[in-house]
Amino acid sequence: MAKKITPELIKEQAEALHGIRLTPQRSTELAQEVEKINSGVRGVAEGILTFDDEPGAFARFLSALKG
Amino acid sequence: MTDLTELSLAEVGDLIRARKVSSVEVVKANLKRIAAWQGYTNAFIDVRGDEALKQARALDRDLSRGIVRGVLHGVPLAHKDMYYRAGKISTCGSVIRKKWKADFTCTPLANLDAAGAVDLGTLNMAEWAGGPTGHNIHVGDCKNPWNPAHITGGSSSGTGAAVAARMAYGGLGSDTGGSIRLPAAACGVVGLKPTWSRVSRYGVMARAWSLDCVGPLTRTVRDCARFMRALAGHDPMDPTSSREPVPDYEGMLGAGVKGLRIGLPKNFYFDSAHPETVAAIHAALKVLEDLGAIVVPITVPDPARMFESADTLSKTEAAVIHRRWMAERPKDYSPQLFARTEAGFHIPAMRYIEAQAMRGPVIRDFVEKVFSKVDMVAATVIDHPVPTRAETDVQVSGAVPAMVGRITRPTRPFNYLALPSIAVPCGFGKAGLPISFQLAGRPFAEGRLMQAAHAYQEATDWHLRSPKMRAA
C-alpha cells in the first residue's frame, strides 16, 4: 500500500522539479490536495483501465456513441 | 415602440432580415442599455460602440442590396474576453494580457462574423477562465443583474450578466468545469456546453485543452439553436474538432417531447441539493411530463468517481499552460487562481495519463448504462441558492479547492464525460435569484436537448423575466 503524500515530499519536489519554494503551510495544503487527487485517480484506474486503453481514444468513443 | 433590447436574438434577427428595424437601430438600443447597466453589473471589459455601429451600417447596406450574410445578420452579440480578434486586445481577465493583441481572429468569432453578427465588445470573465464565481481582482467583480451582491457564476461571468441584463442578445462563453452553465444558471439565461469537439477551439484561450468547450449563452433556446448553427462544425485549424455534420438545430425545435424519456438521477445530483432547488426542478419536470415526456428515476454511474480525474486533467493542463508566468510573475496572479492551479505541478504524469486513458471506458459505461434507458438526464446546475460575492470570496489558499468543488460538483462530471448539457432557467429562489436545471445527453445530441428545453420554454415564462435595477 502506498504511503500518503507528505508536505516534505511536495516541498522537495517543488524545489527539485520546478524551482519553486513553498512555505510549510502551503506544502501541507498541497500535500492534502494532491493526496486526494492521486489516490482518487489511482483507485478508480485500477478498476477500469485495461491493456489496450489509450489516452486519445475518448474522442473516438464520442462518435461511436453519438445520439 | 417596443424596447428592442427586450426582444430575443431570434425575434430581433427576424425583424432585421424583414427590414422592419435596422441593425443600426438595434445596436444603438444595445449601447444605450449597456450605458445604463454597465455600472451596475461590470459585465463589459471593452465596449466597442463605434466599431459596432460601423459594422451595423455595412450590414444594413448589404440588406438593402438583398445580401444576407447569414443567420445572425445584423444581430449584436458580445463575448467573453478570451476569443482572439486580429488587432484587438484579449485580456483573458488577467493583468499579464492587459494589453496583449492577437494577430489573427479565432474560428468561433470568424464563424459569427461570417453569419453576419455584430460584435459589441468584450466581456468580463474569471482570471484566465479559472474561477466559478465571477470574482476578478484585476478588472473588478462581475455582478449579478438580479442582485449585484450575488455572484454571476463563472468563468463566463460577463456573458451571463450581459445577456440577462439585455445588454447583448447572446454571447460566447467557454466551459471547462461548468463555466457556461454556472453563469447561465446564476443569471437566469440559457447556456449550452456542447459535446467536446463540436465547436472549434482555434484561437480561443485555453484553460485545459482536453476539457474546454466553446458554447453560447442566450435568453432563449431558439436563440441558442440559431447561434449554434453559425458556430458549430469542423475546423481544419483545430484538428480535434469533430467532422460530425451540424444539423439545423432551429429546424428541429418543434418536435416536442411526447414519449421522450428523461432520467431523474436517484444518486449524486440531488443528494445535497437545497429544497427550493429540488422543488423548482421537480416542477420543471412536471411541466415536461404534462407535455408528454416520461420521467424515469435512474441510478447513474457515480459522478463523484470522475471528480478527481477531471481535476487531474484541468489542474495539470492549466499548470503546463501557466508554468512560465507562475514562476516569473507570480504576483500577477490572484492568490486564489494561483492556489487553484498550483496542485497541477505536483500530480504525477502517470495519474494524468490514467485519467485521460480512462475517459473512453468511463464515457462508454455512462452512455450505455444511462442512455439505453433514457434519452437524456435532468440534473441540478447550482444546487443551492446563488450565493453572495462575500460568501464565496475565499482568501485562504487551502479553502479554494473546497469552494470550487462545492460549486462545480453538478457540472464538472459532464466535462469529463465530454457530453453535451444545456442549462435552462426554471424559477427563482426566495432571495430573488434564478434557479436552473440542466439536461445532458449522448454525444452530439445537442439538437435533442434543445428540443426538450425549447418545449419547456414554450410552456413557461421564466426566460421572459427581466432583471430590474435595485435602488442603491
- Nearest residue of B to residue A11, measured between CA atoms: B346
Task: Domain count for chain A, please give it.
Answer: 1
Q: Distance (Å) from the C-alpha of residue B383 to the closest C-alpha of chain A?
A: 23
Let me know: does B392 contact B407? Beta carbons within 8 Å: yes
Based on the residue annotation, tell me whether B23 is a catalytic residue of this protein.
no
* Inter-chain CB proximity B308 and A41 less than 8 Å: yes
**Rounded mean pLDDT, B324-346:** 94
Band (pLDDT 50/70/90 cuts) for residue B48 is very high
Which one of the listed residues B8, B23, B90, B155 is annotated catalytic? B155
| Cβ-nearest to B358 among A10, A48, A59 | A48
Residue B397 has pLDDT above 70, yes or no: no
Helix (H, G, I), strand (E, B) or coil at B120: strand
Per-residue confidence band for B166, with pLDDT thresholds at 50, 70 and 90? very high
**Residue that the C-alpha cell 482572439 belongs to:** B84
Q: Is residue A2 situated within a structural domain?
A: no
Q: What is the CATH number of domain B18-464?
A: 3.90.1300.10
Q: How far apart are the CA of A1 and the nearest CA of chain B, in angstroms?
A: 16
Closest CA to B194 of B440, B372, B364: B440
CB-CB: which of B327, B361, B443 is closest to A62? B443
Spell out the alpha helix ranges (H) of B253-303: 275-290
Does the annotation count B242 as an active-site position?
A: no
Cell reading at A18: 520546478
Question: pLDDT by residue (tens digit) across B283-308?
Answer: 999 999 999 999 999 999 999 989 99
- HSE (CB half, 13 Å, CA atoms) of A16? 7
CA–CA separation, B317 vs B209, rounded Å? 7
CB contact under 8 A, A14 and B356: no
pLDDT tens digit string along B337-393? Answer: 999 999 999 999 999 999 999 999 999 999 999 999 999 999 999 999 999 999 998
Q: Is A52 on the interface with B (CB under 8 A)?
A: no
Count of beta carbons in the 10 Å neighbourhood of residue A47: 8
Cβ of B346 within 8 Å of Cβ of A61? The answer is no
What is the interface pTM, i.e. ipTM, of the complex? Answer: 0.97
| Average pLDDT across chain B, whole number | 96
Mean pLDDT of B147-175: 98
Query: Of A29, A30, A40, which has the smallest distance from its Cβ to B308's Cβ?
Result: A40
DSSP three-state, residue B147:
coil
Q: Which amino acid is at A16?
A: A
Minimum distance, in Å, between the CA of residue B356 and any CA atom of chain A? 5
pLDDT at B242 over 90: yes
CB contact under 8 A, A44 and B442: no
Task: Give the Cα separation of B376 and B368 in Å (integer).
Answer: 12
Asked if A61 lies within 8 A of B323 by C-beta distance, the reply is: no
Nearest to B100 by CA among B90, B92, B108, B110: B90
| Residues in contact with B375: Cβ distance below 8 Å, sequence separation at least 6, in sequence order | A67, B260, B261, B262, B441, B445, B448
Q: For residues B13 and B118, what is the distance between their CA atoms, to the nearest angstrom?
A: 11
Given CB atoms, is A67 within the 8 Å cutoff of chain B? yes
Q: What is the dihedral of CA B170, B175, B179, B182, to 10 degrees?
A: 80
Mutation target for A interface from B346, B439, B444: give the one with most A CBs within 10 A: B346
Handedness of CA B308, B313, B316, B318 (dihedral sign): negative
**Span B10-22, pLDDT tens digits:** 999 999 999 999 9
Q: What amino acid is encoded at B218 in this protein?
A: T
Evaluate if residue B416 carries a pLDDT over 60.
yes
User: Which residue range forms the structural domain that includes residue A42?
Assistant: 7-65
- Whether the CB of A1 is below 8 Å from some CB of chain B: the reply is no
pLDDT tens profile B255-272: 999 999 999 999 999 999
* Sole residue written with cell 468545469: B177
pLDDT at B206: 98
Q: What whole-number distance in Å separates Cα of residue B139 and Cα of residue B442? A: 38
Place of cell 470550487: B404
The stretch B117-134 carries a mean pLDDT of 97
DSSP B387-429: PBTTTT---SGGGHHHHHHHHHTTTHHHHHTT--EEEEEEEE-
Q: Is B1's pLDDT higher than 60?
A: no
Report how far residue B13's alpha carbon sits from residue B21's, in angstroms, rounded to the nearest whole number: 9
Contact across the interface for A10 and B348, Cβ inside 8 Å: no
pTM over 0.90: yes
Which residues contact residue B437 at a Cβ distance below 8 angstroms, ignoring those fewer than 6 apart? B280, B281, B284, B285, B378, B379, B380, B381, B423, B424, B426
Is residue A1, in this structure, part of any structural domain at all? no
- For the stretch B445-463, pLDDT in tens is 999 999 999 999 999 999 9
- The alpha carbon of residue A47 is apart from the nearest alpha carbon of chain B, in Å, by 10
Name the residue of chain A whose CA is nearest to B375's CA.
A67
**In A, which residues are within 8 Å of B448 by CB distance?**
67
Q: Tens digit of pLDDT for each residue in B175-226?
A: 999 999 999 999 999 999 999 999 999 999 999 999 999 999 999 999 999 9
Delimit the domains of chain B by residue range: 18-464
Query: What residue of A is the nearest CA neighbor of B304?
Result: A40
| Residue of B8, B179, B210, B436 marked active site | B179
Place of cell 508566468: B325
Chain A hits for B354, CB-CB cut-off 8 Å, are: 41-42, 45, 49
Q: Is the pLDDT of residue B470 over 90?
A: no
Exposure string over B71-100, b if 16+ CB within 10 A, otherwise e: bbbbbbbbbbbbbbbeebbbbbbbbbbeee
